[in-house]
Each structure stands twice: as C-alpha cells, then as structure tokens.
Amino acid sequence: MENNKFVKTRESGIELLRILLMLMVIFIHVCVYGGYSDIATHYLAVPERVFYHLVYLSSRCCVYVYIIVFGYFSVTSNKSLENIKVKIAKIYLPMLFYSILIPFLGQAIGLWKLNTIEKVRSFFPFTSKIWYFMTLYLLVLILSPFINKALTFLSKKEYTHLVVILFLMFSVWTVLAQLDQTSDIIRLDKVFETSKGQSLYGFIYMYILGGYLRLHIPCHNKAKFRYLFAFAGLTVVNYLLYHYVDSYDKISIVYDNPILVLQGICLVMFFRELKFKSKVINYIASVNLGVYMIHEQYLVRNKLWDDWFGFLSSKSFYKSNTYPFKILLICVTVFTACGIIEKIRTWIFKGVNILLGKRNTHKKQTDLSANN
C-alpha cells in the first residue's frame, strides 16, 4: 500500500505465525500421510512416543488459527460483496490454475494417468472440493460482508454471549457427543454436523471468534509470553486426556476440540502483539495458500508421501537419533519447493495482468482516436 510515496510495511508478527502454521500443516501430513503417526504409535520407545504426541497435538490447531486470523483482519474491512470481488478472484483464480495445471502437467511428464472424472473435476475446484479448506475459506469470504455487519452492530456484551454460545455448541457439545461415556445422553445427529471441525459451521465459528479478538480484546504493545506457556500447558492437558480417558483419543485431534480452540486463541494473542516489521517474513508468508494448494492437491499428495518421501513409513528411518531434524528438514523442503512454484505463478499472473492492462489501454486509445 502506498501512502505519500512511502511504502508501508505490514506488521510481521501474524505473518510469522502464518509461516509456522503452514509448517505445522505439512508436519501433520508427514504424520498422517507419511506414516510417522503409525510408526510412533506402534514401534517407537515410550520417550519418543511421548515426544511425537506432544508435537503432533500442539500442531493440530493450525487450520482453525488460519480462520481466526482471517476473521481478525476481515471483520472491519469486508464491507460489501462489491468490495470483496477482487479478494474472491485472488483466491479462486490460483485454485483454478493449480487445479488444471497440476493434473495435466503431471500426466504430460508421466507422473500419473488421469481418468475422465479426474479431468473434468479439475475444471471445478470449488464445487468438487479438491481442497476442502479452500472451498470453505471462499464460502466464508463470500458470507463475510453479511457476517461483519451483524458482528460490528453487536455490543461487547452481546458479542461475548455469542462467542460463549458458539463455544458451547461447536466445541463442548461436539466433544461430549463423541465420547463413549456421554454419547447416549448428548447427541449431535439431526442437530448439526461439524465433520470434526471441517465444516462451514466450524469455519464461521472461528471467523466470528477472530472478529471478537479484533473488536473487543485490547492489543498490548509487547508480546505476553504467558500465552505461549498457556499453549504449552493446554498441549500437556490434551495429551493427558488422550492417554488416560477412554475414547478421548479420537477427539484429541479434531479441530473444534475446545482445547485446540483455546490453543489457537493463545497463538493469535501472542503473535499479534509481537511487534516487528520484516519484508522477508512478509514475503515468505505471502506464498502460504499456494504451498497448501500445491502439496495438498491429491495427486501431488499421493506422489509426495507414497513415493518421494515413502521412506517415512519405514521403521529403519527412525533408528537414527537425528530423525526429528530430518522430518523438520522435509517440512522446510516441501514449504520451500512449493513456495518457489507459487512465486513463479504470481509472476505469471502479474505478467498477464500487465499485458491485459496494456491491451486495454491500447484499445481505449484506438477507440478515442476513431471517435475523434
């Protein structure tokens, strides 16, 4: 953004958080798709297993934190559908680009073969839900002008009541409904379905929560490390519940688990108050959605974790004491490689925009000359 010929650099605390969140996302995929979870649970020694669970459980809040941040920045800015047309295009066009490019380019260079359904669905990334996160993100963006009008009209007391009610509905109720001990008394079926936090319910819930932090929780001038200590403490509590409460293991990692929601709040509260400016951090953070779309596209995902990093599912990989550092290196490598591809994509888009701008300018000049 330019102001009086000087470029204003965005605060980098939240941008640093975005980078860390994407690394968490990749780590979760290492665990789930790469096989680290299965190896850690069944074959590693107790200390290594505990280490795995603590790191894994501390990473599970990352998806919801993205939406909290989205709500935090958008609650005061998305005024109308007209205002967000450009934002919608900036999200959807890269989706369409990668949805078409990745399958057909991969087939052209022999990475995979596409069937008819895969070819057709490539042209409809939004409705075919190639990336569930991107579909829900766009839906929340489209709804945001209407949500914002309601939220900014509420008093602090009314907004607080809303957040508490949503927390009880979409976090506490959902967890109790899934516990074997309480599932016969507290039920969700035919009321609402959160799909373990991967539904529009949960994303709107987090958007509203982010708006509340922006509008009604004052920001300090210095980061409070108590939020990080609280985050770590909540991770330990989640692990203890996982370890000692029957049937909680399947709930410990769902996005709308109240512990994960509180962890997300702690991260946002800490990083929004981390006051520094870094063009490098901001530049790196700008590739986040591209990194997600590239490495989580289902064809790339299968190739990535089944073939290129297939050794993650081998017990021999974990015999070395350095395997945690190797996993970190894999996460950074995936982020970097996908980030470079995303930057190339942005350069292509900028080039096309420049060409189209010149073409439109030339057309206008030609029309004016003809009229004169």
pLDDT at 82: 85
Token pair of 38, please? 């299965």
Beta bridge partners of 2: 7
Contact 251, 179 (CB under 8 A): yes
Contact 44, 31 (CB under 8 A): no
- Residue position matching structure tokens 């909290």: 68
The span from the CA of 165 to the CA of 173, in Å, is: 10
Largest alpha-carbon pair distance within the chain?
83
pLDDT at 358: 62
DSSP 101-140: HHHHHHHHTTS----HHHHHHTT-TTTTTSSHHHHHHHHH
Token pair of 247, please? 């049937």
The span from the CA of 137 to the CA of 254, in Å, is: 18
The span from the CA of 152 to the CA of 154, in Å, is: 6
The span from the CA of 307 to the CA of 327, in Å, is: 16
Token pair of 355, please? 């060409």
Closest CA to 61 of 252, 343, 211: 252
pLDDT at 77: 87
pLDDT at 10: 73
pLDDT at 365: 54
Q: What's phi and psi for 6, nearest 5 deg? A: -110, 135
**Per-10-residue mean pLDDT for the chain, 372 residues long?**
47 95 98 96 95 97 96 89 90 97 97 96 95 97 95 96 96 92 88 88 96 94 91 97 92 95 97 92 96 97 96 95 96 98 96 78 53 54
pLDDT at 3: 42
- What are the angstrom distances between the C-alpha of 163 and each of 117, 154, 208? 42, 12, 7
DSSP 222-274: S--THHHHHHHHHHHHHHHHHHHSTT-TTTTT-TT-HHHHHHHHHHHHHHHT-
pLDDT at 193: 81
The span from the CA of 239 to the CA of 249, in Å, is: 9
Burial 239-251, CB ≥16 within 10 A → b, else e? bebbeeeeebeeb
Residue 114 burial by Cβ neighbours in a 10 Å radius (0-12, 13-18, 19+) = middle
SS (H, E, C) 4-36: CCEECCCCCHHHHHHHHHHHHHHHHHHHHCCCH
pLDDT at 5: 40
Which residue ranges make up each domain of the chain?
2-371
Q: How many helices (H) and strands (E) does the chain have?
A: 16, 2
